[in-house]
Amino acid sequence: MPELPDVVVYVEALQERIRGQTLERVRLQSPFLLRSVDPPLADAHSRKVIGVRRLGKRIAMELEGQFFLVLHLMIAGRLHWKKPGAGLRGRQDLAAFDFAVGSLVLTEAGSRRRASLVAVQGEKALAKLDPGGLEVLEASETEFARRLVSSSHTLKRALTDAHIFSGIGNAYSDEILHAARLSPFRRTSQLTEDETRRLFAACRHVLNDWTDKLRKEVAESFPEKVTAFRKDMAVHGRYRQPCPVCSTPIQRIVYAENEANYCPTCQTQGRLLADRALSQLLKEDWPRTLEELEARLERDSQGQKRQKRQ
């Protein structure tokens, strides 16, 4: 899912292209994309774009008369800038926003349709779409600490909860926790003042650093390579690859449709974290340290080789 750095770069690219331009029409290829009925989507046609802003992980286009079109890309939604009147082809193309200078095309990979478009009238209606998470890059350390302990969660859950913090998702929460040297399943109520300070600094560093990297990558073009998996990331999407700090193989826990990636040496004092399903299945046999895991993998590998020889 596009997170704060990705959405910021999307917003900046759109500002350059459509601010001051008139939205000629919106073409919907998928009727399931539009999640609102009042005001009618057609009311957006022929209105000039006043600006584009980020609303958590959403992108809001403000048109004349305080009319807003709000896009939530969810996991697989992506934006593309194409020639005026670009055709919509295939099941992945969901909608096009047509301007004289070009067409903004929304696509979504996969068979499940989660991306959404909402039309609202007025700032108050727009505010209702904001989950209310704290903007870490605009907050003080005191505000951050107060929001962190407002609910009792694991750090991974707290960072990715849009009602607690704005714009942080699965990928950058992994990077933040690695930079802060904290376990993803440490409880928010257990942090010391020094650990809270480290986490706050890590949030600001990771989000600012990646926003700058993506800006340089895009330069003056439109961001077409938005992904949650980047080769320069420290832990996210790097299962079994060496940690860039200590070379320990990165580990992960998969749960529901998400995963937590971490370095046992840097973040959990060498302990391996077990997801609920595996720990219940293996119980006492679950390896507690990286050494135990390596030994288990070696035994399994040797066993598979023996079976092939037989």
Look up the CATH number of the domain holding residue 159: 1.10.8.50
Contact 62, 50 (CB under 8 A): yes
Q: Please state the rounded mean pLDDT for residues 109-134.
A: 95
Whether residue 261 sits in one domain with residue 180: yes
CATH code of residue 45? 3.20.190.10
Whether residue 158 sits in one domain with residue 57: no
Whether residue 257 sits in one domain with residue 148: yes
Whether residue 261 sits in one domain with residue 143: yes
Of 118, 141, 131, 169, which Cα lies nearest the Cα of 55?
Answer: 131
> Which two tokens mark 41?
């989507």
Q: Please state the rounded mean pLDDT for residues 217-225.
A: 94
Whether residue 84 sits in one domain with residue 32: yes
Whether residue 104 sits in one domain with residue 19: yes
Whether residue 251 sits in one domain with residue 173: yes
Whether residue 48 sits in one domain with residue 14: yes
Whether residue 205 sits in one domain with residue 113: no
State residue 277's pLDDT score.
Answer: 47
pLDDT digits (tens, 9 = 90+) for 251-271: 998 876 678 999 999 999 998
Whether residue 292 sits in one domain with residue 179: no
Q: Report DSSP letters for 260-283, one per residue.
A: EEE-HHHHSTTBPP--HHHHHHHG
| Length of the chain measured in residues | 310
Distances (CA, A) of 143 to 72, 200, 251, 258: 27, 10, 32, 28
Whether residue 143 sits in one domain with residue 260: yes
State residue 306's pLDDT score.
Answer: 65
Distances (CA, A) of 8 to 56, 116, 214, 223, 230: 10, 18, 9, 11, 17
Phi, psi of 248 (to 5 degrees): -65, 140
Q: Please state the rounded mean pLDDT for residues 18-29.
A: 98
Region class of 178: left (phi > 0), else alpha (psi between -120 and 50), else beta: alpha
For residue 252, list its beta bridge partners: 261
Q: What is the pTM of this model?
A: 0.88
Q: Which domain holds residue 151?
A: 136-267
Structural domains in the chain (count): 3
The type of residue at 288 is R
> Which two tokens mark 134?
């704290």
> Considering 127, 161, 178, which residue would you say is the last residue of a domain?
127
